[in-house]
Amino acid sequence: DADVTQTPRNRITKTGKRIMLECSQTKGHDRMYWYRQDPGLGLRLIYYSFDVKDINKGEISDGYSVSRQAQAKFSLSLESAIPNQTALYFCATSAGRSGQETQYFGPGTRLLVL
C-alpha cells in the first residue's frame, strides 16, 4: 500500500462550490504539506503543518484552508472554487526539522474548476 494517499484522484467541480481534498499517510511523520502544480511553475506551497496543533500558510494560501485532523490526516479545502484553482494538487510528508529530510509525495489530485 502507498505510504501517502490522496482522495479523490480526479475531481471536476463548478465555480463557487466548496470542495475538500484529503491526504492520509502511514509513514508516521509529523510534518505534512499541500502543494499545487501548474505547468512551468513547479510546485508551490499552499499550507504546511509541523504537528497537529501547528498550521502555517505557505506561498499561495489565499482561497484555501486546511485541517489537520490527526497526525496522519491533512485536508485541503477550497471554500469557493474558482477556475484559476484548476491544477494538480500534491500532499507531502516529512520527518524531523533539520532541513535535509526527504519529502514524500502522494500521487496527486487533478482538479478542474469549470
Residues forming the site for another protein (CB under 8 A) = 4, 31, 40-45, 48, 90, 92, 94, 96-97, 99-108
Least Å distance, CB 78 to another protein, is 20
Nearer to another protein, 45 or 72 (CB): 45
What is the grid cell recorded at 9?
484522484
Nearer to another protein, 56 or 80 (CB): 56
Least Å distance, CB 16 to another protein, is 28
DSSP summary character for residue 114: -
Q: Are 67 and 75 in contact (CB under 8 A)?
A: yes
Nearer to another protein, 83 or 107 (CB): 107
Least Å distance, CB 52 to another protein, is 17
Residue 71, phi then psi, degrees to nearest 5: -55, -35
Nearer to another protein, 50 or 65 (CB): 50
65 - beta bridge partners? 77
Q: How far is CA 85 from CA 9, 20, 46, 64, in A?
A: 16, 13, 12, 10
Q: Are 82 and 67 in contact (CB under 8 A)?
A: no
Least Å distance, CB 42 to another protein, is 3
